[in-house]
Amino acid sequence: ELDSLLITMSERGMRLFEKGKKPISIKTKAKEVFDVTGAGDAVISVFTLALTSGATKQQAADLANTAAGIVVGKLGAVAVTRQELVAALKEL
């Protein structure tokens, strides 16, 4: 049985559905979009890493959204570094 679902919606951000809660809309964090290659991979990996580190699903989705915003600001399939993620979070 599915207890939650995270949907990515390109420039419209993300939507998090959790059983028994109202859906949450998360606005995109991308400033400029050069290439969307790897954005979904960044979302999956950062969301999973955050969850396994003890984050709530909303916290994990916010962090994953930030990571995707970094990825689309670069050309090609790229990784997000810890330093980039920390710097982006400090700007929020």
Which residues participate in catalysis according to the annotation? Answer: 41
Per-position DSSP letters for 14-59, written without gaps between them:
EEEEETTS--EEE----S--S--TTHHHHHHHHHHHHHHTT--HHH
Question: How buried is residue 71: exposed, middle or buried, by Cβ count under 10 Å (0-12/13-18/19+)?
Answer: buried
